[in-house]
Structure 1
Amino acid sequence: MAFFLVVATIAISLLAWYSFNFLQSYNKARRIGLPLIFSPFDPWGLFWMLGGAFLGPLLLRLPFGLGEFVNHIKSDWYYLNRNALHQKLGPAFILVSPNRIQVVLGDGVAVEDVLTKRHKEFPKLPELYQGLKVFGNNLETAEGDDWRRHRKLTVPSFNERNISSSNGICKSNIVWRASLTQARGMLNSWVSAGKSGVTCTASDTMTVALHVLTAAGFGKDYSFQPSESRDCTVIKGEKLSFEVALGAVLDSFMGVVISSAFPTASEFLAKYMSKKVDSMKFTVTEFKRNLREMIEEERAVLKTKSSEKSNLMSALVRASDLEGTQGDGKRTLTEEELYGNLFIFTFAGHETTANALMYATALLAVNKHVQSWIREEIHSVIGKSLDTESWEYEKLFPQLKRCLAVMYETTRLYGPVIALPKSTGSTPSTLTIQGKEYIFPAHSDVMLNMVNVHHSPEFWGPTPGHSAQNAGSSRTAQQAPKNSCSRPMVATYPGQPGLEFALERKFVAVIASLFQRHRVQPVPQPGETIEVASKALSEAIEDSECVLTLKMRYPEKARLEWEADT
């Protein structure tokens, strides 16, 4: 009897605590004056993060729509819902859960206001950025004066005019050249697959993105190898090359983020997945070792005053050690901050480039009219016979506007960032949404719904491209103005100077290389027509998920055939 009394007391206490927290969240949210939706679970609570994948499908089966809240707290609900919830509830609404309220903001003007004018009023949500500090504080995790210091030192590294004084090589030209080299190798591999097509587009574009980054970011050149023939085996205890260490860290970065941001989850993972956690820690250690050795080598070269390198690492080392050193001998970037910035730019650039190329090639296979449209431009600007070794960046890149427009349309519809987490910090913040002012209380989450912004009919017209089948018909790709391209209304990579700048060069170089002399189409299954294969490919594109960034859930379903012009 005493045992049941103890259990009942604990249960009642937990229920009372839960109800009190939920009521507090409700009272806090209703005073704002926006529509409310409710969830019994904190979407960022450890319970839901660890058990949501199992519980979600079960809860959705509850009668009378009781489990509908699951569709509003999954990590990728922004993409899955597109703008349907905003069409129903308006430009902003609030998700209420125990211990947390989330203002979901989908109005483009208000989102742009938060991003461009309100750094102090709407700081980053600290707990979600903690995992990005795994190698050190960086531009993405810094705030306030610290953020301005990081930005001042990192932005010049991406400046088109920032060239090596000794050799005059423009950084964009380095990105351009590396992209062309990698694209040639990848295309040769794809064409050799013949009628059977390739299913490794996603992993191969990851390789291309990785190798362009190692060349432009660290001065390390690697030849393209198809993912099926690459040996990236990690053997604990053996020294890893920079390429293998970086690739392994990027592949396991979700685990790195969780272990750094959520120590309790890290303990759970370490207990039940000890081998994977040990391997992850080893690759992180090896990546740091490689970075340390490369930075020491760069510093030694800088002391001789004869450095001819022009890459991200050399620029940051110079900015930290030479331009920023004060009379007290302190560097403007600490060693850990140098590591942190090098990695965060590498990670973000790798994911965005690879995903954009994967989606674009698949979309172009479905939308043959857009494929013909960009090929027409490539042939007009470059011709059909000029080898890529002779392509001049300064002359050709500005003229390839249609290729750039395809990048903008791809990242609008399938951009890597589906939502940006902000907060109100320790004080309330005000924001005007469609002419009405709202006051958000302190310690409120503010989620910037980038998917809604980039799909909103108010800004993109009545057919803003909700599926792969009509993506090529929406206005950005088809209406590239004579002098500039229509880019997404809000920057796809806010806070990361140079990422969009670098992505443009990489994307255009690769796409122009692929389509100068070749076409791509989906490979029909036995007995299928090309129309049925195109529909299946569209469905595979739409079936995407967000694991840090948006990507296709089953990219191997995109079987693509590349054939040369006759």
Structure 2
Amino acid sequence: MWPQACVITALVLYFSLTILPLYRNYVVARKVGLPIIISPVNPLGVFWLLLGVRFIPLIRLLPNRLSLWTHCTEYGGGFNDRTAIHKRVGPVFMHVNPAWNELVVADATSAASILNRRKDFIKPQIFYERLNVFGSNVDTVEGDDWQRQRKLTAPCFNEKTSKGVWDIASNQAKSMVEHNMSLFDTSTNSLQDDSRTIAMNVLVGIGFGIMQDFLTGQKKVDPGYSMSYVDSLRTIIRNILFTFIFPHKVLLYGFMPRALRKVGIAIAEFGRYNHELLAKERDAIQHEQQAVRNNLLSTLVRSSDAEDSKTGKKQGLSEEEILGNMFIFSLAGHDTTANTITFAIGLLAVHPEWQTWIQEELDYVFGAKAGGEYEDAFSKLKRCQAVVFETLRLWGSVPFIVKSTGAEAQPLELPFGAPGSAYRQCILSPNTMIHINLPALHISPENWGSDSLTFRPSRWIQTGGSVLPTDSALPKDLESERLITPRAGEFIPWAMGPRNCLGMKFAQVEAVSVLSTVFKSARVKPSLAPELRTGQYDLSDGRLSRKLAMEVLKERRVEVTITIARPHDLWLKWEMREG
């Protein structure tokens, strides 16, 4: 009897926890009138988060109509599918699963409307509450609390910050180039590691005033700690998914695997380090040492401790909120920028004509000088900015933006049918999730033309009143060039509207600083791995190395963000630029 009872119990639980909620959600979704894809699993269930990646390849052996749902439940799946699923079911559709209904959007007008309506479409706490590892922050709160935190965190990102980012990133990139040039074999496979080192050093330098050398970094482990400040931060960032699955205190339990306990230790020690840094900042400010301590943490402390002009009271972020915001700045500003730098340099290596294109601009702006100051250079480097934008368009690190209708139903104008179809108003029920598919938006032929999958940075440049065509001759007067502004919703790697990313300028300045420093003095081209450098290949013919490099760039995986799956298979040769 026991086996039968267990089977019956399992069936009852499955029916009550999966089938009934799925049916209820389906009934609600049908009222919207959009195409529907049904998934039998909760995308955020622990089982699916841990084991889904193993089951998906097996499920996709089934006919497409039986496996299509896996593209909606695979984290980052939209990056690989891009517009494929939307070609089958339309630019917007409903994804129904046992946990919720989800509107999937690949329409620029709809996306812009959603992101501009901050109070109607909010950030769902089920996705963001786990990011409150050290305290709530501007990225996870809503309503009046968000307005308060936004007001107090915005001063961290100003022109003085941008100048600091420019200087540190330039120095780091210069050290990277010099190191790669000094090697006996100037072919390296460390681009992703180098980019992450630069991003981390910029982050802790600007964020906390901790300056690090590119080669050695700050490896000092303070007394009472088991890892350095930087190592603890890096460990958290590299394993952030586990903080979504497990409460961070659970990670410290003795029964947890060693790798997970290390994450728990990193969280605990990073918190202790930050409490100490915060105490030092407050002490420095009290002793009027602001002039020598100008970083994001000190700015946040001063902004938080300032008195409101009307009430005379401190505007106040709590200590936990200050540390929570510093953590979210670190999380948001590391992998995304590092990946952008990695892909941008890799793509320029594969497409040397675009290296020549930006080097013409660098020579025009800097002349014989190795580089320039932020105030004079950044706004003039339009082609370098175009490379960053085109990289993010095709190889963006963030696969989607998540919103929710919250506790109330919300009206929304949506296209019903193929791209270009007429819009009509629909009513989204309370607690409907919204998934804005960034990769599909960013490569849509309707938005970007018939060559939307082609890496062509000149599409971002306008001169003489028209966008440069693919085969255009380079203009002689670079002063006439202007960056175009896409239509609202077509290009949103940093989101848009009231809740766009605070660090957008930070990321742009860092990436442009690195690219301008690297390519002012160097040429980078794909190289073959050492085992392939044999007599059977013509090493003077770069077609094979470019082909292999592009294959590596196209093969990506999900970590914190979308990144290269086989980074150490990307071999690049660094050469001093002639002339």
CA contact (8 A) 2:307 2:315 kept: no
Percent same amino acid at aligned positions?
31
Match status 1:259 vs 2:246: yes
1:545–1:552: 8 Å Cα contact kept in structure 2?
Answer: yes
Q: Out of 281, 284, 292, which is 2:275 matched to? A: 292
Could you tell me whether the CA contact under 8 Å between 1:325 and 1:331 is conserved in 2?
Answer: no
Query: Alignment partner for residue 322 of structure 1, among 306, 311, 316?
Result: 306
Q: What is the CA deviation profile of residues 50-69 of structure 1, one whole-angstrom value per residue up to 9, with x for unaligned ones?
A: 22122222222236753343
Specify the alignment match of 2:380 in structure 1. Answer: 399
Q: Secondary structure at the match of 1:437?
A: strand
Partner of residue 434, structure 2? 446
Task: Please point out which of 505, 513, 518 is paired with 1:509.
Answer: 513
Tell me by how many angstroms 1:94 deviates: 1.1
Q: SS of the counterpart of 1:436?
A: strand
CA distance in 2, matches of 1:507, 1:153: 26
| Cα deviation 1:498-523 (Å, max 9, x = unaligned) | 31101121111110110012111110
Matched, 1:463 2:451: yes
Query: Is the 8 Å Cα contact of residues 298 and 314 (structure 1) preserved in structure 2?
Result: yes
Q: SS state of the match for residue 575, structure 2?
A: strand
Q: 1:186 — aligned with what?
A: 176
Partner of 1:90: 90
Q: Which residue of 2 aligns with 1:215?
A: 205
CA contact (8 A) 1:91 1:433 kept: no
- 2:130 alignment partner in structure 1: 131
2:297 — aligned with what? 313
Assess if the C-alpha contact under 8 Å between 1:363 and 1:472 holds in 2: no
CA distance, structure 2, for counterparts of residue 563 and residue 199 of structure 1:
15
SS at the partner of 1:66? helix
TM-score of the superposition, structure 1-length normalised? 0.89
Q: TM (normalized to structure 2)?
A: 0.87
Q: CA deviation at 1:431?
A: 0.7
RMSD: 2.6
**C-alpha distance in structure 1 between counterparts of 2:51 and 2:504, whole Å:** 35
- 1:500 is aligned with what amino acid? M
Amino acid aligned to 2:493: T
Q: What is the rounded CA distance, in whole Å, between the counterparts of 2:11 and 2:243 in structure 1?
A: 38
Deviates more, 1:74-83 or 1:247-256: 247-256
2:521 corresponds to which letter in structure 1? R
* Letter of the structure 2 residue corresponding to residue 310 of structure 1: N
Q: What does 1:59-70 correspond to in 2, within 5 Å?
A: 59-62=59-62, 66-70=66-70
What SS does structure 2 have at the residue aligned with 1:407?
helix
- Would the alpha carbon gap of residues 186 and 326 (structure 1) be closer, same or farther in structure 2, given more than 3 Å must change? farther
2:76 is matched by which residue type in structure 1?
D
**How many Å apart are 1:554 and its aligned residue?**
1.1
Structure 1 residues 91-100 or 56-65, which shifts more? Answer: 56-65
Letter of the structure 2 residue corresponding to residue 193 of structure 1: L
Shift of 1:484: 2.9
Supply the distance in 1 between the matched residues of 2:365 and 2:139 (Cα, whole angstroms): 38
1:53 aligns with 2:40: no
Measure the CA separation in 2 of the matches of 1:310 and 1:109: 40
Q: Say if 1:325 and 1:332, in contact at 8 Å, map to a contact too.
A: no
Is the contact between residue 177 and residue 522 of structure 2 (CA under 8 Å) also seen in structure 1? no
Equivalent residue for 1:409, pick from 371, 376, 390: 390
Query: Aligned partners of 1:559 and 1:307: how far apart in 2?
Result: 45
Instruction: Tell me how far apart the structure 2 counterparts of residues 412 and 387 of structure 1 sit (CA, whole Å).
Output: 29
With over 3 angstroms needed to count, the CA separation of the structure-2 counterparts of 1:291 and 1:326, relative to structure 1, is farther
Tell me how far apart the structure 1 counterparts of residues 63 and 106 of structure 2 sit (CA, whole Å).
Answer: 30
Contact 2:365 / 2:377 at 8 angstroms: preserved in 1? yes
Deviation at 1:24, TM superposition (A): 1.0
Q: Distance in 2 between matches of 1:19 and 1:234?
A: 52
1:156/1:288 CA distance change after superposition, 3 Å: same
Distance 1:272 1:107, change over 3 A: farther
Alpha-carbon spacing, 1:112–1:419, altered in 2? closer, same or farther (3 Å): same
SS at match of 1:421: strand
- For residue 144 of structure 1, what is the amino acid of its counterpart? G
Match of 2:548 among 519, 522, 536: 536
Query: Residues 245 and 20 of structure 1: is their aligned pair in 2 closer, same or farther, counting only changes over 3 Å?
Result: closer
Return 5+ residue gaps in structure 1 as ranges.
161-169
The residue aligned with 1:157 is 156
Amino acid at match of 2:55: L
SS of the residue 1:205 aligns to: helix
**Taking structure 1 as reference, are residues 502 and 443 closer, same or farther at Cα in structure 2, changes over 3 Å only?**
same
Deviation (angstroms), 1:471? 1.2
Which residue does the alignment assign to 2:23?
Answer: 23
**Contact 2:370 2:517 (C-alpha < 8 Å) held by counterparts:** no
Q: Structure 1 residues 102, 195: CA separation in 2 closer, same or farther (over 3 Å shift)? A: same
Report the CA distance shift for 1:306/1:462 in structure 2 as closer, same or farther (over 3 A).
same
1:328 shift after superposition? 8.4
Task: Please report how far the alpha carbon of residue 218 of structure 1 lies from its aligned counterpart in structure 2 after TM superposition.
Answer: 1.5
What pairs up with 1:361-440 in 2 under 5 angstroms? 361-383=345-367, 385-388=368-371, 391-434=372-415, 435-440=423-428
In the alignment, what sits opposite 2:418? none
Structure-2 change in CA distance of 1:4 and 1:235 (3 Å):
farther
Alpha-carbon distance in structure 1 between the residues aligned to 2:481 and 2:458: 18
Q: Does 1:559 align with 2:571?
A: yes
Question: Which position in structure 2 is the counterpart of 1:41?
Answer: 41
Does the CA-based 8 Å contact 1:134-1:257 persist in structure 2? no
Question: Is 1:236–1:279's contact at 8 Å kept on the other side of the alignment?
Answer: no
1:109 paired to 2:109: yes
Q: State how far apart, in whole Å, the 2-side matches of 1:318 and 1:415 are.
A: 34
Contact 1:130 1:260 in 2 (8 A): no
CA distance, structure 2, for counterparts of residue 130 and residue 92 of structure 1 = 27
Deviation, 1:7, is 3.3
Distance 1:246 1:423, change over 3 A: same
Structure-1 residue corresponding to 2:490? 489
Figure out how many residues of one structure are paired with residues of the other and give that number.
Answer: 541
Q: Which runs of 5+ in 2 are unaligned?
A: 416-422, 469-479
CA distance in 2, matches of 1:233, 1:378: 38
Tell me how far 1:148 sits from its aligned partner: 0.8
Cα deviation, residue 260, structure 1: 3.6
Aligned to 2:558: 546
The 8 Å contact of residues 194 and 563 in structure 1, kept in 2 or not, is answered as no
| C-alpha displacement of 1:301 | 1.7
